[in-house]
Structure 1
Amino acid sequence: MNLPRRDFLKGTLAATATAAFATRLSAETPKSPGREYYELRCYRLKADTRLKADANPTLLDAYLEGALLPALDKLGVKNTGVFTELDINKDTATSTPKPGSPVWVLIPHATLDSFVQVSATLNADPAVQAAGAAYLQAPKAAPAFERIDSWLLLAFAGMPRLELPAFSRDRVPTRVFEMRDYESHSELKALSKMTMFNDGEIPLMKDLGMNPVFYGQALAGPDLPHLRYITSGPDLATHLVGWKKFGSDPRWTSMKNDPRYADNTSRNTSRFLAPKPYSQI
């Protein structure tokens, strides 16, 4: 059936406009050379629908330390962090292990292919299966965890790669980390908060010695849209002083009152973390 000339022209113009828009969008999409990807895992150990009693963390520890981290090292994936949560008292700058804490694992990847390879094939490696047999072969009646939550994040342009603090390299036993995730009520507001970090908050945190480890935009996982980052200190007291300096700095006051960044965060969750003895961060 032949289309009327008017409909044919309308369709042709629409297709041309769509193609032009796609070309322009591709050209304007910022490239991200050198920006890392991060997988953040949360191993939940408290009893729920799968576990009748809280899982024994030693089974997971043995797998992470003896199987997962060595396999990641072999693949060239370095600086994997393993943490548990802390309850803190800001008045006394003291902390205690949080009862029933999940185990958090941060895995940096140079490329998206690295993430896919680790996620899809690592546990099929016979060496990993042998080293992690007790964990991987845990019986159905007594699994090693309740659930694993996972997020895929893309590093911010303002800090495209993970930065390992000196006190992590030196294995300072009192080092502490704080992970924050900022949720937004729309994708556009989440991008606004990222811009706020790239243009001001990241340089300010570095200037104040807050030792940021990474900043990431959550691409997949629960509670989207959100971003997540970790700051750190050689000890809790030093870390808390850094936040006090940040809160009173005129550069922060200017940023938070800038109308461009209004209402870009709907929820802020903070978790204080202690590294496991075998953590590489």
Structure 2
Amino acid sequence: MKNSTLSFLLLIFCSLSVFAGEKPPAREYYQIRIYHLKTDAQVQVVENYLNQAFLPALHRAGIKQVGVFKPIAQDTADLRIYVLIPFKTLTRFEELPALLEKDAAHASAGKDYLDAPYNNKPYARIEDILLKAFKDMPVLTPSAVTGPKSERVYELRSYESPTEKYAVNKIKMFNDGNEFGIFRKLNFNTVFCGEVLAGSKMPNLMYMTTFKDKADRDAHWKAFSADPDWKTLSAIESYKNNVSKNEQFFLRPTEYSDL
């Protein structure tokens, strides 16, 4: 009788698991590629490449949600273009260069960029950052913000920590401490949250939130600072001092950006 009851309970559990989707989605990986440029001519070459060659090639490879952003206030000494690429697995990230090399349409459409001479290069340098999604936000979520792209604010934040242990603690604050819950409650339209696996600034985590305009962004952060759940969470002693440097980058999507 006991075995029959146990079997029945296991059957119910398995059925509920299947109904619920069996398992949570796997955590994605993200590449943030930052083009550092010196001239408007370089900006034009890179933008033409991204719009006409790179994004179409990624779409053909099954990567549909690619973000391309430019700073709202460009530093004329260091012009930038940010590209956000999601990958389902690290293998997909590793295989992308070979896929692009075999893509004839990519080679043809991107010729000016790909075949640029050494003495007329299309950028000053490229910076790459590799991240792994947090467990409580395992996949990229396109923003629900509508309205003209020319007015939207995409805020990319970088949180450096004093040590690796403090970085783990800050990630725990987002997941187990439910800092994510406050973002969701206040409709921050978070696109991604990830731990930096490789980059020039580590240990580090980064995330991106979105707003319809600058006033909307300021109102959201004012509400966040005043939120009672945030006040309670930020007062917990075990979460103290886990961020040593907080940088904000205010970006705007290009018209051809998927995000």
Q: TM-score range by the shorter chain?
A: 0.7 to 0.9
Quick one: structure 1 residues 193 and 113, their matched pair in 2 at CA, closer, same or farther if it must change by over 3 Å?
same
> 1:1-281 residue pairs with structure 2 within 5 A?
33-46=25-38, 56-87=42-73, 97-99=74-76, 100-167=78-145, 172-198=149-175, 199-281=177-259
Change (3 A) 1:62 1:172: closer
Deviation digits for residues 174-227 of structure 1 (CA, Å, limit 9, x no counterpart):
221000000112111001000111132111011101111100101112111100
Distance 1:268 1:127, change over 3 A: same
Whole-angstrom CA distance in 1 between matches of 2:50 and 2:102: 15
Question: What RMSD over aligned residues (CA atoms) do the two structures have, in Å?
Answer: 1.9
Residue in 2 that maps onto 1:15: none
Instruction: Report how many residues are paired.
Output: 235
Report the equivalent of 2:9: none
TM-score normalised by the chain length of structure 2: 0.85
Q: 3-state SS of the aligned residue for 1:141?
A: helix
Letter aligned with residue 194 of structure 1: I
Structure 1: stretches of 5+ with no match in the other structure: 1-30, 47-52, 88-96
Percentage identity across paired residues of the two chains: 40
Q: Deviations over 1:120-145 (max 9, x none)?
A: 44244322111100011111111000
> Taking structure 1 as the reference length, what is the TM-score of the superposition?
0.79
Deviates more, 1:223-232 or 1:254-263: 254-263
CA deviation string 1:225-280 (max 9, x = no partner): 10000001122211211011001111111121211111111111100001111111
For structure 2, list consecutive stretches of 5 or more residues without a partner in the other structure: 1-22
**Greater Rg over alpha carbons, structure:** 1
Give the AA of the match of 2:210: S
Return 148-157 or 55-64, whichever deviates more: 55-64
Distance 1:116 1:270, change over 3 A: same
